[in-house]
Amino acid sequence: MKSRYLFVLLCLGCTGWARGEIYKSVDAEGHVTYSSTPSRGAKKLWLEPLPSPSQPSKDSSSQSVRAHNKASPSDFPRVDSGTQKNRDSTRRKILSDELAAEEKLLAEARTNLKQGEAVRNETTSEGKLHALHEEVTLHEKNIVALKTELSNVK
């Protein structure tokens, strides 16, 4: 039991050693170099320690929520809920139209790929087939991206 306390005390005592020194040097060409070891012409930088995160108390939790809500500047433009709903429905409509168009393009690309594979030996080169595969893959990725965007619309 005593060894555990001794270990904790040693760990707490060593925290001061963890803070390193940083040196900044600028060469003749203007290149800036930062290092933990001093060199000729380097200047030691004094940096403030970073604040450690603290656990908010129950009393400060409502204050932190209010502070989070006021994170935007006071002159930041506000939009009423009706306007935002209209914008969201317009966005949903645009994304749905794009999705429908992309699905049509995917169907065409798959048809072109099947036709290219059917006449592979006659006139279609390997480069052409690869381009058709790439086109199908691109449309599939676009559809996935559009569906993701649609799921994010409120």
Where are the domains positioned within the chain? Answer: 84-152
Q: Determine contact, residues 139/102, Cβ cutoff 8 Å.
A: yes
**Sign of the C-alpha dihedral, residues 82, 88, 91, 95?**
negative
Q: Determine contact, residues 128/116, Cβ cutoff 8 Å.
A: yes
Distance CA 55, CA 68 (A): 16
Local confidence pLDDT in tens for the 154 residues of the chain: 566 666 666 665 555 555 678 888 888 888 888 888 888 888 888 877 777 776 555 545 555 555 555 567 878 888 888 998 999 999 999 999 999 999 999 999 999 989 888 876 655 577 888 889 999 999 999 999 999 999 988 7
Q: Determine contact, residues 22/34, Cβ cutoff 8 Å.
A: yes
